[in-house]
Amino acid sequence: MEDIAFFDCNVSFGIPPKPGLGYAATPDDLLAEMDHCGVDEALVTCAAQQFGSPLEGNEMVVVQTRGYARLHPVWALLPSQTGEFPEPAALIAQMRVHNVHALCAWPGQHHYLLDGRTFGSLLEELTARRVPLFLPLTEQSGGQGGWSLAGSLLEEYPRLTLVLTNQSVWGQDRYFRPLVEQYPNLYLETSHYELANGLSDLCRRYGAERWLFGSAYPERCLGGAVYQLLRADVPRAAIKAIAGANLRRLLEEAVL
């Protein structure tokens, strides 16, 4: 593993409303778990962003990760029409100040529609600036619901840099392969993708550039995600790309 740098794109800290067997209450706890599992860096959200107030959570994730060079904050998205969330220009300026290079949407949890009617000007801005938008699929209505949302969003904004996370462990290829073939800025995270020889087939057919290492910690085991990628039947160069290089490229391409 010495030459493989793991950069997890899907990690959260804080105490969830229904704590599982393990979680990281603080950034220090999270770093201890990352060290134990061999993960170098992570894009992080905090539990308050999803399960409490997204606005307070956005502030918390910035404040609590400040000074931790290995942890990179992600902000939760909300509509601006209710006066809770900044307009696109102000949001980009605030992201620049706080070194936030990615956003995450929980439309089901936070009761909004993720579409052009609600977010048109912001989605245009994110597309132009290549700012990654993360969309957890299991948070939606499950199964086809999340994929339908992703397909509708990409149909409206085909150049949007969209990262789909937390897909079901049951084979989802029939949902996402048509999207991968049509939308060049669509990426998928690896945490729930457990199809036998699935990743090797995806890399052979589409290349290794469209897949991002993610653990979905604490929902899933961080170490298991690392082991799963290390044992995948793909070339070492592909493992290195998926483990961290692909995500690092996306973040570097974001223009704030």
Per the domain annotation, does 208 fall within a domain? yes
* pLDDT, tens digit, 9 for 90 and up, residues 154-199: 999 999 999 999 998 887 999 999 999 999 999 999 998 988 889 9
Per the domain annotation, does 227 fall within a domain? yes
Per the domain annotation, does 61 fall within a domain? yes
Per the domain annotation, does 21 fall within a domain? yes
Q: How far apart are CA 148 and CA 98, in angstroms?
A: 33
Q: How far apart are CA 179 and CA 202, in angstroms?
A: 13
* pLDDT, tens digit, 9 for 90 and up, residues 88-131: 999 999 999 999 999 999 999 999 999 999 999 999 999 999 99
Residue 252's SS3 state is helix
Per the domain annotation, does 2 fall within a domain? no
* pLDDT, tens digit, 9 for 90 and up, residues 190-245: 998 988 889 999 999 999 999 999 999 999 999 999 999 999 999 999 999 999 99
Q: Write the CATH number for 180.
A: 3.20.20.140
- Domain hosting 184: range is 7-253
Question: Do the Cβ atoms of 232 and 199 come closer than 8 Å?
Answer: yes
Per the domain annotation, does 169 fall within a domain? yes
Number of compact structural domains in the chain: 1
Per the domain annotation, does 1 fall within a domain? no
Report DSSP state, residue 160. -
